[in-house]
Structure 1
Amino acid sequence: MLFLPSVQGRFPVGVTTFATPVRPSRPIGSLKLRAPTHASAQPALRLEEVAFTAYYPADTSSTHLIKGLDWFLRPLAESLRGFAIFLGVPSWLLWPVVYLFGALVKIPAYPNAPLLNPMDLNAFPATQPSVSSQWPLVIFSHGLGGSRTAYSQFCSRLAASGKVVLAVEHRDGTGTLSMPRLWDVDGKSTSKITYYLRDTDISWEDTTTSKEAQPLPLRAEQLAFRHHEMYLTYTTFSKFIQNDPDVEFETIDSTEIDRQSWSAADSKGKSIIQFDRDVILAGHSFGGCTVLSLLSTRPEEGYQPIPIKQAIILDPWLDPLPSPGPIPISTSDSMPAHTTDIGSSKTSLDGITINTENGSSKALSPHPRMLVINSETFTLWKDHFERLREVISGWEPDGKSILTLVGSQHVNFSDFPVLPIVHKKGARKIMNTIGTLSLAFLDGKLDQCLEEEVNTVKMEINIVGVKKDGKPKRKLVGKIGDVIADY
């Protein structure tokens, strides 16, 4: 076996993938899959089942636990095809990577291990510092080409620090592969396979979603789809840990788990997972876009607000979001649309309404605190970075909200650069720094971290050549992993 790097942290990490059916299943948006002549076009996005992988502090006292979860989704033949479609290359070109290498790659975590009870840990105050009686809850959203395992290093780092992280598997055509099941009223399911969707796979039969009306119609509807998945993940998981008898909630492969460890409560009867307050959202790229969209949008009717306290956004991609904005909505405003009216400018995005008032003076309060960690490549994307600054000022007008990692690329927030054998130079240091900054922010110690734990440098740009289009090629001054704080 080939293991990804072990993560720093106090606790061993467990990993379990859960799924819950959506009944009745329903199409989201109006986009259709391109169909052969005379055939009936099917909805491009259909909500049938929600799945996510939980990374969490594990109780490893059982002798039956074996470390190692497959990083590539099974079956391998479908993973191979999914990556080929995403990368736009022939399957045979990736065959050696997937079958001879990918089959051996494991995440260094314990599959289906029981959740560690923090109260058990506090029984030994002499050997370990005490922890809260509840584990904080994090919900993570992946980027284009991502999956529920593609960010295992970041999710495991948070879990090893004492948090329960739910990495959503977005089944909106942004992942390389997903296998949702369609559930009928009798409890029977029919599996299907979906791959990465491109504009060429979609038809715009409704003129309101044409390319002229919406420059990124596919991404807009995928964003709306992700809203449903994020809310359903939170809602069904909350019911599961509260032992709600009506919620349909199983491991994705029907493996038996220690359910009592998940529904355990403290001496006051509170769940050992802190789901009813101070929830954390996190996401990378299109996942960062998803987080911003959620934070600037009132829940659709039927969904209760998620009590979000903080957000970590990794290299967010802003293009699918309406401009100007978005900016946060206040806690009192994050109610279903029919109950409130904040009276500010709005932009509709396929059934969701995003607050687009601009400028820090317009930011409504209270709202979640936010940290953005950017790659060098996205910071040097001048127009995008200026928009990012403008958007984030609505959450953090005092600055210190955008950090850039020198020498990093967009892919550095995922596991890809730290895969065994093929890992890139400096990738582990960058991943380490991402985890250190994220945890410092969540613990309210970011200023101290920037002063004492990481090397910070000023924003300086050198011209190092010329691009093919004749524009200057720029590079940040500093060593790989240095941190630039945008004030």
Structure 2
Amino acid sequence: MFNFGRLVQESVVKKIYEWSRLVSGLKGSHQSSVAMGNASCHNNHLGIPAGKGPHQVGCADLMVGHTVQGTFFRLYYPCQTSEASEKPDWIPCREYFNGLADFMKMSRTLSERIFNYLFGSYKIPAAWNASFKPDDKYPVVIFSHGLGAFRTLYSAICAELASQGFVVAAVEHRDESASATFYYQENNEAEQRPHAVHQNFRPISNNLEEEWMYYRALKPGELEFPLRNRQVKQRADECIRALNLLIDINAGKSVENVLQSTFDWTTLENCMDLCRIAIMGHSFGGATVIECLCKEVKFKCGIALDTWMFPLDEEIFPSVKQPIFFINSEKFQWAGNIIRMKKLDSAVIPRKMITIKGTVHQSFPDFTFLTGNWIGKILKLKGEIDPHVAMDLCNRSSLAFLQRHLSLERDFNQWDPLIEGKDDNLIPGTNITIPQSSM
């Protein structure tokens, strides 16, 4: 699970807000708050790291089908770009701030100012709607976010993969596990309400009206497993639909983007290597990886980051025939969760696990790069390890695993030792002690 909200007490966040007002002399409007966010960003050299591979990275949003049953993802891809290329906001609009506030059980008014101060100035390290770079055929990765997250929050991982020559679709889930997402309803009334004006997404049709879906908390007395199990099955279906959409685009089939966009999706035709497809995700997204591997054999392998195993039926485990790589944080895991991962062990199918020392559950989303040390540690967005070191270990070991199991002709095998946990900052397997009687 994403777990950001569960780790943060409102009183702590209020103190941070009071501190931010004190040091910045904030007296004014919403715009002042955003402006100070910019100043804070530049003075502390915080920001989401750009991809380290040989390709420039572009990104574009695709929504096919305007209803809640449609498909919605952000695509990261190798691009042709110039210095003037625009980078999109990391948090696309205020509704996502509201969703994070609801998830954290905070006042929306208070949280919007806090989040704008801390995060409002950041950009994703990718060129918005930049022209696709036709080259050799690119392998494909589908990425699934965690509980309370949404499609933009793992841009450091997705941009790195794209810079290394992958096409990556970061799905935004509509199972009520995202802190916020949206779709459209048709409004055929003669006098239509004006659209909310968002910088990077507007519908192509004037009769489409924005509808927001926010995180659904457990109801009093509600059992958690039935909800999470239903959600993980829907999430897997959404990932598979995203993959099938990319397969259609690769085949040259016309797709209608519900969102206004200057990106030309036809340039992707015959540019994806559909024999080399992987699924990747964090936390609840890690559980989604396992569910996807069971449901869709086109996924040749899976990478599960700090997986939350609770939502899964163990009955599906024998049906998972593809290689899996579990990359865990040092502080999040517990014996019961690791035991369930170990039930996927196989004598014949590669199943690997490493733990990154000094990491916390939030060492995988972008938040870890966007707060200074003391705020980051109070909010448990940072561990003891430098987040750039941790992310490099995660990305490099993932690339080595993808080369091995997608049969890529790259140089990622230089990082093969990381898959075995051979690094001073890695633990082979897990740091959690598992009682022998449990296995």
1:70 aligns with 2:89: yes
- DSSP-derived class of the 1:291 partner: helix
Q: How does 1:320-359 map to 2 (within 5 A)?
A: 320-323=311-314, 326-329=317-320
Corresponding residue for residue 217 of structure 2 = 198
> Gapped runs of 5+ residues in structure 1?
26-46, 119-132, 204-209, 264-270, 298-304, 330-366, 458-478
Is the contact between residue 378 and residue 385 of structure 1 (CA under 8 Å) also seen in structure 2? Answer: no
Deviation, structure 1 residue 6: 2.4
Corresponding residue for residue 338 of structure 1 = none
> Gapped runs of 5+ residues in structure 2?
1-37, 42-46, 189-203, 377-381, 405-410, 432-439
Which of residues 379, 382, 392 is equivalent to 1:432?
392
Moved over 4 A (4+): 183-188, 396-400, 420-423, 445-448, 452-455
Comparing both chains, which one has the higher relative contact order based on Cα–Cα distances under 8 Å and sequence gaps of 6 or more?
2
Deviation, structure 1 residue 258: 3.0
Corresponding residue for residue 482 of structure 1 = 426
Corresponding residue for residue 300 of structure 1 = none
Corresponding residue for residue 96 of structure 1 = 113
Corresponding residue for residue 369 of structure 1 = 323
Deviation, structure 1 residue 390: 1.6
Which of residues 62, 65, 86 is equivalent to 1:18?
62
**Per the alignment, do residues 400 and 19 of structure 1 end up closer, same or farther by CA in structure 2, a change over 3 Å counting?**
closer
Measure, in 2, the Cα distance between the counterparts of 1:454 and 1:417: 25
Measure, in 1, the Cα distance between the counterparts of 2:170 and 2:178: 13
Deviation, structure 1 residue 483: 3.6
Is the contact between residue 96 and residue 180 of structure 2 (CA under 8 Å) also seen in structure 1? Answer: yes
Is the contact between residue 324 and residue 350 of structure 2 (CA under 8 Å) also seen in structure 1? Answer: no
Is the contact between residue 400 and residue 416 of structure 2 (CA under 8 Å) also seen in structure 1? Answer: no
**TM-score normalized by structure 1?**
0.67
Greater gyration radius? 1
Measure, in 2, the Cα distance between the counterparts of 1:453 and 1:372: 10
Q: Please tell me the residue identity of whatever aligns with 1:233.
A: A
Is the contact between residue 105 and residue 420 of structure 1 (CA under 8 Å) also seen in structure 2? Answer: no
**TM-score normalized by structure 2?**
0.73
Is the contact between residue 136 and residue 274 of structure 1 (CA under 8 Å) also seen in structure 2? Answer: yes
Corresponding residue for residue 358 of structure 1 = none
Measure, in 2, the Cα distance between the counterparts of 1:449 and 1:99: 38
1:59 aligns with 2:80: yes
Is the contact between residue 48 and residue 183 of structure 1 (CA under 8 Å) also seen in structure 2? Answer: no
Per-residue CA distance 1:211-253 (angstroms, 9 max, x = gap): 4xxx5222122122213311221122222233313x4335x3x
Q: Count residues with an aligned counterpart.
A: 356
Measure, in 2, the Cα distance between the counterparts of 1:383 and 1:199: 22
- DSSP-derived class of the 1:70 partner: coil
**Per the alignment, do residues 400 and 146 of structure 1 end up closer, same or farther by CA in structure 2, a change over 3 Å counting?**
same
Is the contact between residue 140 and residue 168 of structure 1 (CA under 8 Å) also seen in structure 2? Answer: yes
Measure, in 1, the Cα distance between the counterparts of 2:422 and 2:369: 23
Is the contact between residue 157 and residue 435 of structure 1 (CA under 8 Å) also seen in structure 2? Answer: yes
CA RMSD of aligned residues (A): 2.9
Per-residue CA distance 1:391-412 (angstroms, 9 max, x = gap): 2x14x65766111111111111
Greater helix share, 1 or 2? 2
1:50 aligns with 2:16: no
Greater strand share, 1 or 2? 1
Measure, in 2, the Cα distance between the counterparts of 1:100 and 1:406: 30
- DSSP-derived class of the 1:54 partner: strand
**Per the alignment, do residues 399 and 20 of structure 1 end up closer, same or farther by CA in structure 2, a change over 3 Å counting?**
closer
Is the contact between residue 154 and residue 435 of structure 1 (CA under 8 Å) also seen in structure 2? Answer: yes
Per-residue CA distance 1:165-202 (angstroms, 9 max, x = gap): 0000001111111111135899742321111111128x
Deviation, structure 1 residue 383: 1.7
**Among the aligned pairs, what percent are the same residue?**
27
Is the contact between residue 49 and residue 182 of structure 1 (CA under 8 Å) also seen in structure 2? Answer: no
Q: Please tell me the residue identity of whatever aligns with 2:422.
A: T
**Per the alignment, do residues 260 and 248 of structure 1 end up closer, same or farther by CA in structure 2, a change over 3 Å counting?**
closer
Corresponding residue for residue 185 of structure 2 = 182
**Per the alignment, do residues 383 and 224 of structure 1 end up closer, same or farther by CA in structure 2, a change over 3 Å counting?**
closer
1:161 aligns with 2:180: no
Measure, in 2, the Cα distance between the counterparts of 1:368 and 1:54: 24
